[in-house]
Amino acid sequence: MGGEGERPLSWLEITVHVDTVAADAVAARLFDLGCGGVVTEEASNPFVRAYLPGGSDPEQIRFLLQTFLDRLPVLFPGIERPTASFRNVPDRDWGLTWRRFFRPLRVTPRLWVVPAWEAMPDVPEGRVIRMDPGPAFGTGSHESTRLCLRAMERISMPDGWRMMDVGTGSGILAVYGAMLGASWVEAVDVDPDALAWAEKNLYLNPNPEKIHLSLKPIESYTERFDLVAANILLGVILDLLPQLARLVAPRGRLILSGLLKDQTEAALLKSSRLHLKHLETLEEGEWACLVLAFREQENKRAR
């Protein structure tokens, strides 16, 4: 995406007609390909729609997306073969169009996520995060994000605990970490545009001073964190897992989300080799989230 004030003249509109059980997987793939403002329609003719700047290479996008779609019937047996269509559309501030799909959402019994342009709801109990995700991933509407937020609620942390949010996207996990009492949250991403949107979201919510946004590679960090959360795709998780494990404090916790249920075995196998033990799996739909910690003997060596 271009910098602020740089608007493309046109957009590549991608529409994927797909069974609702696989819609979230398609949405995640479209985000991974660089799309922003992905929306899902679950009516009688369900589809997932997203947009890329007109300067993108359409043939490369078609190839990568079609390769993924060809595998979906294997991941989701029984679904009809998904179909994708592409068309160029003029710039018409499509961001305002997709906003109508983002409504106040209760993502856990203790948490609401509310669009920045909506009036604050009357919430007698729990917390409220205000979000304007822009092209970044993370509104709480996707199962992988909800699972991560729920996992964070379930972990008991020591006073003054510190968090790292890897692949922060919209910043929603970092914001919730600060709300839950983290004294410091290091929120990292490889995409400067995502961090620009995350910064806006920090200042829509309490305690923005507790959160530091960074493009710094996680390999360059030497400190450890009481909670490390990564809501990203399996391939990236497997590549980063040695570094993620290194960043977890001896008695800390590692949350891995963005996994399909049948992908957890691969993540757990590699985690075990890194002296991490499996504490809990949270599931919703086809998605899963793992909570991990160091095995006791590793705790003793790390003290």
pLDDT band, very low/low/confident/very high, at 3 (cuts 50, 70, 90) = very low
Contact (CB, 8 A) for 237 and 256: yes
Element of type H or E holding 32: helix 23-32
Fold (CATH) for 10-97: Alpha-Beta Plaits (3.30.70)
The average pLDDT across 258-276 equals 94
1 has a pLDDT exceeding 90: no
Q: Which residues are paired to 163 by β-bridges? A: 185, 227
Which uninterrupted H or E stretch holds 186?
A: strand 184-188
Lowest mean pLDDT among 3-7, 51-55, 285-289: 3-7
Handedness of CA 22, 28, 32, 37 (dihedral sign): positive
4 pLDDT tier (thresholds 50, 70, 90) = very low
What distance, in Å, lies between the first and last C-alpha atoms of the chain? 44
Distance CA 78, CA 154 (A): 35
Predicted confidence (pLDDT) per residue in 144-158, tens digit: 889 999 999 999 999
Beta pairing partners, 98: none
Decide if pLDDT at 15 tops 70: yes
Query: Which CATH number does 140-302 carry?
Result: 3.40.50.150
Q: What is the pLDDT of residue 2?
A: 35
| Average pLDDT of every residue of the chain | 84
Asked if pLDDT for residue 105 goes beyond 90, the answer is no
Q: What are phi and psi of 282, to 5 degrees?
A: -105, 140
The pLDDT of residue 61 is 87
The whole-angstrom separation of Cα 125 and Cα 110 is 7
| Alpha carbon distance 71, 260 (integer Å) | 14
Domain boundaries, the chain: 10-97, 140-302
Reported as a pLDDT band with limits 50, 70 and 90, residue 213 is: very high
**Residue 102, pLDDT score:** 65
pLDDT at 21: 84
pLDDT for position 57:
75
The pTM is what?
Answer: 0.73
pLDDT at 287 over 70: yes
> Is the Cβ–Cβ distance between 79 and 19 less than 8 Å?
yes
* Dist CA 176 CA 289 (whole Å): 17
Identify the pLDDT of residue 87. 84
What mean pLDDT do residues 105-124 have? Answer: 80
Looking at residue 165, its pLDDT comes to 98
**pLDDT higher than 60, residue 98:** no
pLDDT for res 149:
95
**Cα distances (angstroms) measured from residue 143 to each of 37, 77, 235:** 16, 20, 18
Proportion of the chain above pLDDT 70, given as a percent: 83
AA letter at 174: A
Decide whether 10-97 matches 140-302 in CATH topology: no
pLDDT band at 285 (very low <50, low <70, confident <90, very high): confident
The pLDDT of residue 171 is 92
If you average pLDDT over residues 71-87, what whole number do you get?
89
Q: Tell me, what's the pLDDT at 101?
A: 58
